[in-house]
Chain A
């Protein structure tokens, strides 16, 4: 059974960089059949996609966050990571990592999710 586990600081100061890692177990992150993504959810609000990465197909960013986001993949550790720079209180959210299944040209659904980690931006 595939499992994803987010880790990283729960508290980040304004203007600093938020860094999170997602450890994948029960499957290989190197498969070309999947992307690996980050999604966030501010308290009481909806889901917002941040970015996705594929071992072979590249990187995809939410245009509204692209200037502040870096996503990377470490196949040796079977994990992928997120960095979000210059954070503000608006970046306070539960951050989820998830596996994104690829189906044809337009099928890109998230079939496995981590439990999520709350990151609070505050001084």
Chain B
């Protein structure tokens, strides 16, 4: 079955750029989505179709997807961006989630 892999944790200083990766075989041939989840809250879609931001998501969130890797980029990271981030793809009629990446802003 298809799998996507994320690093368990990423750290970034306030104001710097955070990169969170998601790797899977030929992931670039599929659409990747990204969700932000803060403690005790439901996941929130922050990027879909590789690069699109839903209404209400700040412009500092962006995405890319090529080859075997999709990347969520958070520019000018703020303390409020500290959260768990999950990538998600669709393969052979199945939803696949990455294991999640804990973003620490310090």
Interface of A is mostly: strand
Q: Is A14 engaged at the interface, CB distance under 8 Å to the other chain?
A: no
A-B contacts, 7 of them at CB < 8 A, read A37-B95, A47-B100, A49-B95, A62-B95, A103-B31, A109-B49, A110-B35
Q: Is B61 engaged at the interface, CB distance under 8 Å to the other chain?
A: no
Q: A60 and B93: CB pair below 8 A? A: yes
Given A47-B100, A96-B42: A106 in contact with B95 (beta carbons within 8 A):
no
Known A-B contacts: A46-B98, A63-B94. Give 10 more (CB < 8 A).
A48-B97, A60-B95, A101-B48, A103-B31, A107-B48, A108-B90, A109-B31, A109-B48, A110-B33, A115-B42
Give the residue of B33, B45, B49, B96 whose beta carbon is less than 8 angstroms from that of A49: B96
Q: How many interface contacts (CB-CB < 8 Å) are there between A and B?
A: 70
Q: How far is the CB of A101 from chain B (nearest CB, A)?
A: 7
Q: Is A92 engaged at the interface, CB distance under 8 Å to the other chain?
A: no
Residue of B nearest to A35 (CB): B95
Please, what's the 1-or-0 string for B68-106, where 1 marks a CB less than 8 Å from any CB in chain A? 000000000000000010101111011111111000000
Q: B86 and A107: CB pair below 8 A? A: no
Query: Which B residues touch A46, using CB under 8 A?
Result: 84, 86, 97-100
Q: Is A42 engaged at the interface, CB distance under 8 Å to the other chain?
A: no
